[in-house]
Amino acid sequence: MTLNRREFLIASGGALAAAGFPAIAKARPRVVIVGAGYGGATCARYLKLWLPSIEVTVIEPNARFVSCPFSNTVLAGWNRLGDITFPYDSIKAVVDRFISDTVSAIDTDKRTVTTAGGKTLAYDRLILAPGIELQFDKVAGYDAEAQQTIKHAWKAGPGQTDVLRRQLEAMPDGGTFVISIPMAPFRCPPAPYERVCLIADYFKRAKPRSKIIMLDGNPDIVSKKTLFLTAWKKHYGYGTDASMIDYRPNNMPAAVDAKAMKVGTDFDDVKGDVINLVPPMRAATITGLIGARTGDNGNWCPVDYLSYESTEVANVHILGDSILSNLSKAAALANNSGKLCAYALTEIFSGRAPDPVPVVTSTCYSASTDHTAFHVATVFRYNPADKSMQVQPGSGVSDAESAKEFKYMRGWARNIWADTLGLPRRYRFTNRV
């Protein structure tokens, strides 16, 4: 029997479907991804890996990827900003379009995205992975002029991380470093406490008479409390008259005076030679523009954990730090949710339902000195009964800091960078830590 080309394609499609593979659709599904951080870049890469027929467009304003995880090591002087900065070359090579631009408008009825540069893109599914919006207006005096001096360094990159490092280097021995911590939830809960460890480690070696004042808006340390307290006591004299660290809970900054270099709280005014003020945060502005930011008094975006589709806006999926969830706002979870969303969309586009009980995991390392670290690892499984992600047995934290975990921490970072960005197997990492 002889088959012509049309008959062969029909027969091939039937054979593939019978074998459990979907027949290729006539029209390619179109996915537009806004933001190429840990969630967006991972999702883009795995969409093309698992279902190459999907047309994937990525919109990202930054020329290079700068990692927030490990940015504290730059403040400590262990790494340079270039050591945690990576190219988007591999992502650009696999997606259909990589547009270096910002989004100016989204029409969720027509399913179009318009960029500031004037491009209008149609989508079948839109993925928003835009990160966070820092609410400077919640702190009186934290205006554009003050931001030139007072850095948050909570979005790593030039003009933030590198400037704060130079300020620390220029600070006199015996000076005071003031850091503020907003009320939870915020991006990467252990990060401010790790930042204190790493800057204390730097001061211990370079400026031993200096002090750190922590103004924590929360009533207590929100992550890895016992491990951080143990490290502060062991290495930095916490709890003694010689403590380098002055931890003040329930001290939410209400105002900042950049000229006088002081932070005002409900209790007093705190002066510092260097101030690192991290303002309250919420889901990125773009999520509010389309009505997806409705949870927690309009601060975060509720999603369906089966696919990370917004519960408020159809055909829009939200990844990473913007979501309303008991999942930590952390790189590992953004990376994992990016994969889960990619998987769910490949199932949806193939006419199948996604996994009804998905699992995501997160591992987060924190350094305590220039040679010790510890971690928290969590496994979450979806509970259909109340539509929530629940922590599973086996999750937990390190028993203690160790040099071995410090080595694991570097391996974790290199692995997640490589996985998120599709870095070549022989990519030459330059980070020392």
pLDDT at 359: 96
**Residue 203 structure tokens:** 């001061």
The 10s digit of each residue's pLDDT in 77-93 is 999 999 999 999 999 99
**For the chain, which residues score pLDDT lower than 70?**
1-26
Name the CA dihedral angle for 303, 304, 309, 314, rounded to a multiple of 10 degrees: -90
In CATH terms, the superfamily for domain 28-134+282-355 is FAD/NAD(P)-binding domain (3.50.50.60)
Q: Is the pTM here over 0.85, yes or no?
A: yes
Burial class (CB in 10 A: 0-12, 13-18, 19+), 259: exposed
Q: b or e along 225-254 (b: 16 or more beta carbons within 10 Å of the residue's beta carbon)? A: eebbebbbeebbebeeeebbbebeeebbbe
pLDDT at 328: 87
Distances (CA, A) of 154 to 179, 198, 301, 417: 12, 15, 20, 18
CATH 3.90.70.10 fits 137-279, yes or no: no
User: Is 28-134+282-355's fold the same as 137-279's?
Assistant: yes
The 10s digit of each residue's pLDDT in 156-198 is 999 999 999 999 999 999 999 999 999 999 999 999 999 999 9
Domain ranges of the chain: 28-134+282-355, 137-279
Cα angle, residue 27 at apex, residues 23 and 32 outer, rounded to 5°: 110
pLDDT at 8: 28
d(C-alpha 277, C-alpha 179), whole Å: 6
Q: What is the largest CA-CA distance in the chain?
A: 92
Q: Within a 10 A sphere around the Cβ of 257, how many other Cβ atoms?
A: 17
